Structure 1
Amino acid sequence: MITYKPLSELPIRDASELWNQSFEGYIVNASMPLERFIARIGNDGLSLEESLACYVDGAAAGIVMNSFREYDGVKLARNSGTAIAPDFRGKGLGKSMMEKNSELYEKQGIHRAYLEAISTNTAAIRLYQSVGYVIIDRLLIMSNEQSLEELNVQNAASTYTLVRGQAAEVASAAFYLPGEV
Protein backbone atom coordinates (compact mmCIF):
# COMPACT_ATOMS: atom_id res chain seq x y z
CA MET A 1 0.00 0.00 0.00
CA ILE A 2 1.37 3.44 -0.99
CA THR A 3 0.90 6.33 1.45
CA TYR A 4 2.19 9.90 1.61
CA LYS A 5 3.04 12.39 4.33
CA PRO A 6 4.07 16.02 4.05
CA LEU A 7 7.79 16.28 4.81
CA SER A 8 6.86 18.79 7.53
CA GLU A 9 5.51 15.86 9.59
CA LEU A 10 8.93 14.20 9.72
CA PRO A 11 11.76 15.19 12.04
CA ILE A 12 14.23 17.12 9.87
CA ARG A 13 16.90 14.43 10.34
CA ASP A 14 14.46 11.80 8.98
CA ALA A 15 13.63 13.99 5.97
CA SER A 16 17.36 14.42 5.26
CA GLU A 17 17.94 10.68 5.57
CA LEU A 18 15.00 10.00 3.23
CA TRP A 19 16.58 12.36 0.66
CA ASN A 20 19.92 10.54 0.88
CA GLN A 21 18.33 7.09 0.87
CA SER A 22 16.15 7.97 -2.13
CA PHE A 23 19.08 9.33 -4.17
CA GLU A 24 21.36 6.41 -3.33
CA GLY A 25 22.99 5.04 -6.49
CA TYR A 26 21.69 7.97 -8.58
CA ILE A 27 23.50 9.17 -11.72
CA VAL A 28 25.27 11.87 -9.70
CA ASN A 29 25.95 12.02 -5.99
CA ALA A 30 23.02 14.07 -4.68
CA SER A 31 23.50 13.10 -1.04
CA MET A 32 24.16 15.85 1.45
CA PRO A 33 24.80 16.16 5.18
CA LEU A 34 21.98 17.36 7.41
CA GLU A 35 23.33 20.93 7.64
CA ARG A 36 23.44 21.29 3.85
CA PHE A 37 19.95 19.78 3.52
CA ILE A 38 18.61 22.36 5.98
CA ALA A 39 20.43 25.20 4.18
CA ARG A 40 19.03 24.04 0.83
CA ILE A 41 15.48 24.23 2.18
CA GLY A 42 16.02 27.90 3.03
CA ASN A 43 18.16 28.85 0.03
CA ASP A 44 15.79 27.26 -2.50
CA GLY A 45 12.59 28.33 -0.73
CA LEU A 46 11.43 24.71 -0.42
CA SER A 47 8.10 24.01 1.24
CA LEU A 48 8.20 21.07 3.61
CA GLU A 49 4.43 21.34 4.01
CA GLU A 50 3.97 20.84 0.26
CA SER A 51 6.73 18.27 -0.27
CA LEU A 52 6.12 14.56 0.01
CA ALA A 53 7.52 11.55 1.79
CA CYS A 54 6.35 8.34 0.13
CA TYR A 55 5.92 5.02 1.94
CA VAL A 56 5.23 1.51 0.68
CA ASP A 57 3.72 -0.76 3.32
CA GLY A 58 5.10 1.61 5.97
CA ALA A 59 8.68 1.62 4.62
CA ALA A 60 10.20 4.93 3.48
CA ALA A 61 10.40 4.65 -0.31
CA GLY A 62 10.74 8.07 -1.94
CA ILE A 63 10.71 11.84 -1.74
CA VAL A 64 9.43 14.82 -3.73
CA MET A 65 10.58 18.33 -2.78
CA ASN A 66 8.72 21.40 -4.03
CA SER A 67 8.95 25.15 -4.03
CA PHE A 68 6.31 27.69 -5.04
CA ARG A 69 6.21 31.31 -6.09
CA GLU A 70 4.10 33.76 -7.98
CA TYR A 71 5.43 35.72 -10.93
CA ASP A 72 3.41 38.24 -12.87
CA GLY A 73 0.17 36.87 -11.41
CA VAL A 74 1.01 33.28 -12.39
CA LYS A 75 1.47 30.61 -9.72
CA LEU A 76 4.60 28.54 -10.40
CA ALA A 77 5.87 25.32 -8.86
CA ARG A 78 9.30 23.79 -9.06
CA ASN A 79 9.91 20.15 -8.36
CA SER A 80 13.33 20.44 -6.74
CA GLY A 81 14.00 16.74 -6.40
CA THR A 82 12.14 13.49 -6.91
CA ALA A 83 13.81 10.21 -6.07
CA ILE A 84 12.97 6.64 -5.16
CA ALA A 85 14.98 4.42 -2.83
CA PRO A 86 16.81 1.61 -4.71
CA ASP A 87 14.64 -1.21 -3.32
CA PHE A 88 11.50 0.45 -4.74
CA ARG A 89 12.72 1.48 -8.18
CA GLY A 90 11.21 -0.02 -11.32
CA LYS A 91 7.89 -0.84 -9.66
CA GLY A 92 5.73 2.04 -10.88
CA LEU A 93 6.15 4.10 -7.74
CA GLY A 94 7.42 7.12 -9.70
CA LYS A 95 4.12 7.40 -11.57
CA SER A 96 2.19 7.33 -8.30
CA MET A 97 4.47 9.96 -6.77
CA MET A 98 4.18 12.27 -9.78
CA GLU A 99 0.39 11.89 -9.87
CA LYS A 100 0.17 12.67 -6.14
CA ASN A 101 2.40 15.68 -6.70
CA SER A 102 0.17 16.83 -9.58
CA GLU A 103 -2.84 16.66 -7.24
CA LEU A 104 -0.92 18.82 -4.78
CA TYR A 105 -0.17 21.36 -7.56
CA GLU A 106 -3.82 21.38 -8.59
CA LYS A 107 -4.90 22.09 -4.99
CA GLN A 108 -2.39 24.96 -4.87
CA GLY A 109 -3.77 26.45 -8.10
CA ILE A 110 -0.46 26.09 -9.91
CA HIS A 111 -0.45 27.32 -13.52
CA ARG A 112 3.01 26.00 -14.45
CA ALA A 113 5.37 23.48 -12.93
CA TYR A 114 9.06 23.03 -13.67
CA LEU A 115 11.71 20.45 -12.95
CA GLU A 116 15.13 19.47 -14.20
CA ALA A 117 16.31 16.02 -15.20
CA ILE A 118 19.70 14.78 -16.27
CA SER A 119 19.44 14.01 -19.99
CA THR A 120 20.84 10.49 -19.60
CA ASN A 121 18.10 9.64 -17.09
CA THR A 122 15.72 8.61 -19.86
CA ALA A 123 13.42 6.63 -17.55
CA ALA A 124 12.77 9.73 -15.43
CA ILE A 125 12.25 11.91 -18.50
CA ARG A 126 9.71 9.42 -19.88
CA LEU A 127 7.96 9.43 -16.51
CA TYR A 128 7.80 13.21 -16.39
CA GLN A 129 6.51 13.39 -19.95
CA SER A 130 3.84 10.78 -19.14
CA VAL A 131 2.35 13.15 -16.56
CA GLY A 132 2.42 16.20 -18.83
CA TYR A 133 5.87 17.75 -18.59
CA VAL A 134 7.50 18.86 -21.83
CA ILE A 135 11.16 19.57 -22.53
CA ILE A 136 11.59 23.32 -22.93
CA ASP A 137 15.37 23.61 -22.80
CA ARG A 138 18.59 21.73 -22.29
CA LEU A 139 21.28 22.78 -19.84
CA LEU A 140 24.98 22.25 -20.27
CA ILE A 141 26.78 21.55 -17.04
CA MET A 142 30.50 21.94 -17.00
CA SER A 143 33.00 21.31 -14.26
CA ASN A 144 36.52 22.46 -13.60
CA GLU A 145 39.16 21.41 -11.13
CA GLN A 146 41.24 24.58 -11.32
CA SER A 147 40.71 27.48 -8.95
CA LEU A 148 38.58 30.30 -10.31
CA GLU A 149 41.58 32.62 -10.05
CA GLU A 150 43.73 30.30 -12.23
CA LEU A 151 40.96 29.88 -14.75
CA ASN A 152 40.31 33.62 -14.98
CA VAL A 153 44.04 34.31 -15.60
CA GLN A 154 44.24 31.62 -18.31
CA ASN A 155 41.14 32.98 -20.03
CA ALA A 156 41.93 36.68 -19.58
CA ALA A 157 41.54 37.26 -23.31
CA SER A 158 38.17 35.50 -23.48
CA THR A 159 34.81 37.20 -23.49
CA TYR A 160 33.84 35.53 -20.20
CA THR A 161 34.28 36.81 -16.71
CA LEU A 162 34.03 34.52 -13.72
CA VAL A 163 32.18 35.95 -10.77
CA ARG A 164 31.86 34.18 -7.44
CA GLY A 165 28.42 34.47 -5.85
CA GLN A 166 25.22 32.81 -4.73
CA ALA A 167 22.96 30.97 -7.19
CA ALA A 168 20.08 33.35 -6.41
CA GLU A 169 22.18 36.26 -7.72
CA VAL A 170 21.72 35.03 -11.29
CA ALA A 171 18.37 36.84 -11.21
CA SER A 172 20.28 40.07 -11.82
CA ALA A 173 21.90 38.73 -15.02
CA ALA A 174 20.61 40.27 -18.25
CA PHE A 175 19.77 36.86 -19.75
CA TYR A 176 17.74 35.62 -16.76
CA LEU A 177 14.01 35.10 -17.47
CA PRO A 178 12.30 34.91 -14.05
CA GLY A 179 8.97 33.51 -15.20
CA GLU A 180 10.50 30.83 -17.39
CA VAL A 181 12.73 28.86 -15.02
Structure 2
Amino acid sequence: MEFKTLSHISIDELLSVFNHSFSDYIVPFHLTKEVLLLKLDSEKLDLNISVGAFENDQLVSFILQAEKEEEGRKIIYNGGTGIVPEFRGKGLVRKMYDFIIPQLKERNAEVLLLEVIQGNEGAIRAYENLGFSIVRKFLCFHGNINSVKENNEVSIQELEDFQWEKFRSFWDIEPSWQGKNSILENIKKDVLKLGAFKDEILVGYIIYHPVSKKVYQIAVDQKYRNQGIGTKLFKAIKDINQKQPISFNNVDEASENTTKFLEKTIGLNNWVSQFEMKRDI
Protein backbone atom coordinates (compact mmCIF):
# COMPACT_ATOMS: atom_id res chain seq x y z
CA MET A 1 0.00 0.00 0.00
CA GLU A 2 1.34 3.42 -1.00
CA PHE A 3 0.17 6.84 0.20
CA LYS A 4 0.59 10.04 -1.77
CA THR A 5 -1.21 13.24 -2.67
CA LEU A 6 -3.78 13.33 -5.45
CA SER A 7 -1.90 15.96 -7.47
CA HIS A 8 -1.40 13.51 -10.33
CA ILE A 9 -4.83 11.88 -10.32
CA SER A 10 -7.24 12.31 -13.23
CA ILE A 11 -10.77 13.54 -12.64
CA ASP A 12 -12.15 10.42 -14.35
CA GLU A 13 -10.26 8.10 -11.98
CA LEU A 14 -11.26 10.15 -8.94
CA LEU A 15 -14.89 10.13 -10.07
CA SER A 16 -14.90 6.35 -10.50
CA VAL A 17 -13.40 5.70 -7.05
CA PHE A 18 -15.60 8.37 -5.43
CA ASN A 19 -18.79 6.76 -6.74
CA HIS A 20 -17.59 3.24 -5.89
CA SER A 21 -16.77 4.36 -2.34
CA PHE A 22 -20.19 5.91 -1.75
CA SER A 23 -22.30 3.32 -3.60
CA ASP A 24 -23.27 1.59 -0.33
CA TYR A 25 -22.90 4.60 1.97
CA ILE A 26 -25.44 5.31 4.72
CA VAL A 27 -26.84 7.85 2.24
CA PRO A 28 -25.84 6.38 -1.17
CA PHE A 29 -25.19 8.87 -3.93
CA HIS A 30 -23.64 9.06 -7.37
CA LEU A 31 -21.89 12.10 -8.84
CA THR A 32 -21.56 13.07 -12.47
CA LYS A 33 -18.27 14.48 -13.69
CA GLU A 34 -19.86 17.94 -13.89
CA VAL A 35 -21.04 17.76 -10.26
CA LEU A 36 -17.65 16.52 -9.03
CA LEU A 37 -15.89 19.38 -10.81
CA LEU A 38 -18.40 21.80 -9.27
CA LYS A 39 -17.71 20.33 -5.82
CA LEU A 40 -13.95 20.65 -6.26
CA ASP A 41 -14.29 24.24 -7.44
CA SER A 42 -16.99 25.49 -5.07
CA GLU A 43 -15.41 23.99 -1.93
CA LYS A 44 -11.87 25.00 -2.97
CA LEU A 45 -10.74 21.38 -2.74
CA ASP A 46 -7.06 21.14 -3.59
CA LEU A 47 -5.71 17.86 -4.94
CA ASN A 48 -2.19 18.93 -3.97
CA ILE A 49 -3.07 18.63 -0.27
CA SER A 50 -5.58 15.80 -0.72
CA VAL A 51 -4.34 12.28 -0.06
CA GLY A 52 -4.97 8.84 -1.45
CA ALA A 53 -4.13 5.22 -0.67
CA PHE A 54 -2.96 3.21 -3.68
CA GLU A 55 -2.81 -0.54 -4.15
CA ASN A 56 -0.77 -1.56 -7.22
CA ASP A 57 -1.03 2.06 -8.44
CA GLN A 58 -4.83 1.94 -8.20
CA LEU A 59 -6.58 4.50 -5.99
CA VAL A 60 -8.62 2.70 -3.31
CA SER A 61 -9.15 5.43 -0.72
CA PHE A 62 -8.98 9.22 -0.53
CA ILE A 63 -9.43 12.33 1.60
CA LEU A 64 -10.29 15.47 -0.38
CA GLN A 65 -9.09 18.62 1.38
CA ALA A 66 -9.23 22.39 1.18
CA GLU A 67 -7.27 25.10 2.96
CA LYS A 68 -8.51 28.38 4.41
CA GLU A 69 -7.30 30.98 6.88
CA GLU A 70 -9.87 32.16 9.41
CA GLU A 71 -9.27 34.43 12.40
CA GLY A 72 -5.55 34.00 11.96
CA ARG A 73 -5.63 30.20 11.93
CA LYS A 74 -5.09 28.02 8.87
CA ILE A 75 -7.85 25.41 8.64
CA ILE A 76 -7.80 22.21 6.58
CA TYR A 77 -11.29 21.08 5.60
CA ASN A 78 -12.07 17.46 4.73
CA GLY A 79 -14.55 17.69 1.86
CA GLY A 80 -14.96 13.93 1.53
CA THR A 81 -13.40 10.68 2.72
CA GLY A 82 -14.00 7.56 0.68
CA ILE A 83 -12.82 3.96 0.82
CA VAL A 84 -13.85 1.37 -1.72
CA PRO A 85 -15.68 -1.51 0.02
CA GLU A 86 -12.96 -4.09 -0.59
CA PHE A 87 -10.39 -2.09 1.43
CA ARG A 88 -12.39 -1.09 4.49
CA GLY A 89 -11.36 -2.15 7.98
CA LYS A 90 -7.67 -1.66 7.27
CA GLY A 91 -7.22 1.62 9.13
CA LEU A 92 -6.73 3.61 5.93
CA VAL A 93 -8.20 6.85 7.26
CA ARG A 94 -5.65 6.97 10.07
CA LYS A 95 -2.84 6.01 7.70
CA MET A 96 -3.83 8.74 5.22
CA TYR A 97 -3.88 11.35 7.98
CA ASP A 98 -0.55 10.05 9.31
CA PHE A 99 0.88 10.60 5.82
CA ILE A 100 -0.55 14.05 5.13
CA ILE A 101 -0.45 15.77 8.55
CA PRO A 102 3.35 16.36 8.49
CA GLN A 103 2.91 18.11 5.13
CA LEU A 104 0.04 20.18 6.51
CA LYS A 105 2.20 21.20 9.46
CA GLU A 106 4.84 22.41 7.01
CA ARG A 107 2.11 24.68 5.58
CA ASN A 108 1.48 26.01 9.12
CA ALA A 109 -1.99 24.46 9.24
CA GLU A 110 -3.45 24.36 12.75
CA VAL A 111 -6.94 22.86 12.56
CA LEU A 112 -8.62 19.90 10.85
CA LEU A 113 -12.35 20.23 10.11
CA LEU A 114 -14.88 17.78 8.68
CA GLU A 115 -18.53 16.74 8.62
CA VAL A 116 -19.92 13.25 9.19
CA ILE A 117 -23.48 12.01 8.86
CA GLN A 118 -25.32 11.38 12.11
CA GLY A 119 -25.89 7.65 12.38
CA ASN A 120 -22.59 6.72 10.76
CA GLU A 121 -21.31 5.48 14.10
CA GLY A 122 -18.29 3.70 12.67
CA ALA A 123 -16.99 6.87 11.04
CA ILE A 124 -17.75 8.98 14.12
CA ARG A 125 -15.82 6.58 16.37
CA ALA A 126 -12.93 6.49 13.90
CA TYR A 127 -12.67 10.27 13.85
CA GLU A 128 -12.97 10.48 17.64
CA ASN A 129 -10.12 7.97 17.90
CA LEU A 130 -8.11 10.32 15.70
CA GLY A 131 -8.71 13.18 18.14
CA PHE A 132 -11.70 14.87 16.51
CA SER A 133 -14.53 16.22 18.67
CA ILE A 134 -18.10 17.11 17.71
CA VAL A 135 -18.58 20.89 17.79
CA ARG A 136 -21.91 21.46 15.98
CA LYS A 137 -24.87 19.59 14.56
CA PHE A 138 -26.12 20.52 11.09
CA LEU A 139 -29.53 19.80 9.59
CA CYS A 140 -29.88 19.17 5.85
CA PHE A 141 -33.15 20.06 4.13
CA HIS A 142 -34.70 19.08 0.81
CA GLY A 143 -38.06 19.42 -0.88
CA ASN A 144 -40.48 21.61 -2.75
CA ILE A 145 -41.20 25.16 -1.61
CA ASN A 146 -44.74 25.69 -0.30
CA SER A 147 -47.15 28.13 -1.89
CA VAL A 148 -47.52 30.84 0.72
CA LYS A 149 -49.07 34.26 1.12
CA GLU A 150 -46.76 37.07 0.01
CA ASN A 151 -45.87 40.34 1.67
CA ASN A 152 -46.63 42.90 -1.05
CA GLU A 153 -44.74 45.61 0.83
CA VAL A 154 -41.49 43.80 0.11
CA SER A 155 -39.76 43.80 -3.28
CA ILE A 156 -37.18 41.25 -4.43
CA GLN A 157 -34.26 42.47 -6.51
CA GLU A 158 -31.19 40.75 -7.91
CA LEU A 159 -28.01 42.03 -6.29
CA GLU A 160 -24.93 42.71 -8.38
CA ASP A 161 -22.51 41.64 -5.69
CA PHE A 162 -22.25 40.29 -2.17
CA GLN A 163 -22.75 42.89 0.54
CA TRP A 164 -20.96 40.91 3.24
CA GLU A 165 -20.85 43.57 5.93
CA LYS A 166 -24.60 44.09 5.65
CA PHE A 167 -25.33 40.37 5.27
CA ARG A 168 -23.31 39.48 8.34
CA SER A 169 -25.30 41.96 10.44
CA PHE A 170 -28.37 39.77 9.79
CA TRP A 171 -26.74 36.53 10.99
CA ASP A 172 -27.54 34.54 14.11
CA ILE A 173 -25.07 31.76 13.31
CA GLU A 174 -21.91 31.19 11.30
CA PRO A 175 -22.32 29.25 8.02
CA SER A 176 -20.66 25.88 7.55
CA TRP A 177 -17.65 25.53 5.25
CA GLN A 178 -19.71 25.28 2.04
CA GLY A 179 -21.60 28.47 2.86
CA LYS A 180 -18.70 30.60 4.07
CA ASN A 181 -18.15 33.95 2.40
CA SER A 182 -14.74 33.04 0.98
CA ILE A 183 -16.16 29.89 -0.59
CA LEU A 184 -19.07 31.77 -2.16
CA GLU A 185 -16.72 34.43 -3.53
CA ASN A 186 -15.11 31.62 -5.48
CA ILE A 187 -18.40 30.84 -7.26
CA LYS A 188 -20.01 34.28 -7.24
CA LYS A 189 -20.55 34.24 -11.02
CA ASP A 190 -22.56 31.03 -10.70
CA VAL A 191 -24.87 31.91 -7.82
CA LEU A 192 -27.96 34.08 -7.71
CA LYS A 193 -27.99 36.86 -5.11
CA LEU A 194 -31.43 38.19 -4.26
CA GLY A 195 -32.16 41.01 -1.85
CA ALA A 196 -35.45 41.77 -0.09
CA PHE A 197 -36.21 45.49 0.16
CA LYS A 198 -38.75 47.30 2.31
CA ASP A 199 -39.01 51.07 1.89
CA GLU A 200 -35.86 50.81 -0.26
CA ILE A 201 -33.91 49.30 2.66
CA LEU A 202 -32.19 45.91 2.30
CA VAL A 203 -33.78 43.78 5.01
CA GLY A 204 -32.93 40.24 3.87
CA TYR A 205 -31.14 38.20 1.23
CA ILE A 206 -30.76 34.71 -0.19
CA ILE A 207 -27.88 33.10 -2.12
CA TYR A 208 -28.88 30.28 -4.46
CA HIS A 209 -27.11 28.09 -7.02
CA PRO A 210 -29.49 27.49 -9.97
CA VAL A 211 -27.56 24.51 -11.40
CA SER A 212 -27.27 22.49 -8.18
CA LYS A 213 -30.57 23.95 -6.87
CA LYS A 214 -28.92 24.60 -3.54
CA VAL A 215 -29.48 27.46 -1.11
CA TYR A 216 -26.20 28.53 0.51
CA GLN A 217 -27.33 31.36 2.76
CA ILE A 218 -30.49 33.17 3.79
CA ALA A 219 -30.88 35.78 6.51
CA VAL A 220 -33.29 38.53 7.51
CA ASP A 221 -32.61 41.63 9.59
CA GLN A 222 -33.77 40.90 13.14
CA LYS A 223 -35.88 44.08 13.15
CA TYR A 224 -37.89 42.83 10.16
CA ARG A 225 -38.50 39.20 11.03
CA ASN A 226 -41.94 37.54 11.08
CA GLN A 227 -43.08 39.83 8.27
CA GLY A 228 -42.98 37.31 5.43
CA ILE A 229 -39.60 38.45 4.11
CA GLY A 230 -37.88 35.06 4.20
CA THR A 231 -41.01 33.55 2.70
CA LYS A 232 -40.92 35.99 -0.19
CA LEU A 233 -37.27 35.24 -0.86
CA PHE A 234 -38.05 31.52 -1.13
CA LYS A 235 -41.06 32.32 -3.32
CA ALA A 236 -38.67 34.08 -5.72
CA ILE A 237 -36.50 30.95 -5.84
CA LYS A 238 -39.57 28.82 -6.46
CA ASP A 239 -40.51 30.98 -9.45
CA ILE A 240 -36.96 30.92 -10.85
CA ASN A 241 -36.41 27.16 -10.66
CA GLN A 242 -39.85 26.30 -12.07
CA LYS A 243 -41.05 24.70 -8.84
CA GLN A 244 -38.37 21.99 -8.78
CA PRO A 245 -37.13 20.67 -5.40
CA ILE A 246 -34.29 22.50 -3.70
CA SER A 247 -31.79 21.66 -0.97
CA PHE A 248 -30.38 23.69 1.90
CA ASN A 249 -27.60 21.85 3.67
CA ASN A 250 -25.82 22.33 6.99
CA VAL A 251 -28.24 24.57 8.84
CA ASP A 252 -26.95 24.93 12.40
CA GLU A 253 -29.33 23.13 14.77
CA ALA A 254 -28.77 25.98 17.26
CA SER A 255 -30.87 28.24 15.05
CA GLU A 256 -34.25 26.86 16.12
CA ASN A 257 -36.21 29.64 14.44
CA THR A 258 -34.58 28.89 11.08
CA THR A 259 -35.31 25.18 11.43
CA LYS A 260 -38.95 25.81 12.28
CA PHE A 261 -39.28 28.27 9.40
CA LEU A 262 -37.81 25.87 6.84
CA GLU A 263 -39.99 22.96 7.97
CA LYS A 264 -43.31 24.57 8.89
CA THR A 265 -43.46 27.57 6.57
CA ILE A 266 -41.35 26.66 3.55
CA GLY A 267 -42.19 22.94 3.64
CA LEU A 268 -38.71 21.45 3.43
CA ASN A 269 -37.86 18.11 5.02
CA ASN A 270 -34.89 17.54 7.34
CA TRP A 271 -33.91 14.35 5.55
CA VAL A 272 -30.45 13.89 7.12
CA SER A 273 -28.25 15.50 9.77
CA GLN A 274 -24.49 15.87 10.15
CA PHE A 275 -21.98 16.57 12.87
CA GLU A 276 -19.22 19.10 12.37
CA MET A 277 -16.03 17.70 13.92
CA LYS A 278 -12.74 19.46 14.61
CA ARG A 279 -9.27 18.79 15.99
CA ASP A 280 -6.04 20.71 16.36
CA ILE A 281 -3.06 19.49 14.41
TM-score under structure 2 length normalisation: 0.53
Q: What residue in structure 2 maps to residue 153 of structure 1? A: 148
1:165 pairs with one of 186, 203, 208: 208
Question: Is residue 2:128 matched to residue 1:129?
Answer: yes
Q: What residue in structure 1 maps to residue 48 of structure 2? A: 49
Query: Counterparts of 1:1-181 in structure 2 under 5 Å?
Result: 2-144=1-143, 146=144, 148=145, 151-153=146-148, 163=206, 165-166=208-209, 169-170=216-217
Counterpart of 1:170 in structure 2: which amino acid? Q
Structure 1 Cα separation of the partners of residues 89 and 205 of structure 2 = 41
Distance 1:27 1:60, change over 3 A: same
Q: What residue in structure 1 maps to residue 257 of structure 2? A: none
Q: Deviations over 1:116-152 (max 9, x none)?
A: 00111111111111111110011122332x2x2xx15
Counterpart of 2:102 in structure 1: which amino acid? E
Distance 1:169 1:141, change over 3 A: closer
Counterpart of 1:65 in structure 2: which amino acid? L
Structure 2 Cα separation of the partners of residues 45 and 7 of structure 1 = 14
State the aligned residue count.
169
Structure 1 Cα separation of the partners of residues 27 and 102 of structure 2 = 29
CA RMSD of aligned residues (A): 3.1
Q: Which moved more, 1:166-175 or 1:4-13?
A: 166-175
Q: Which moved more, 1:36-45 or 1:19-28?
A: 19-28
Q: Gapped runs of 5+ residues in structure 1?
A: none
Larger helix proportion of the pair: 1
Percent sequence identity is 24
Q: Deviations over 1:57-116 (max 9, x none)?
A: 444211110000112221011001011100011222222123224334323221111100
Pick the structure with greater CA Rg. 2
Larger strand proportion of the pair: 2
SS class of match (1:31): coil
Alpha-carbon contact 2:207-2:216 (below 8 Å) kept: no
Q: Deviations over 1:4-62 (max 9, x none)?
A: 23222012211221211222211112320111111111111110111112113444211
Structure 1 Cα separation of the partners of residues 84 and 63 of structure 2 = 12
Structure 2 Cα separation of the partners of residues 164 and 9 of structure 1 = 34
Distance 1:170 1:30, change over 3 A: same
Counterpart of 1:87 in structure 2: which amino acid? E
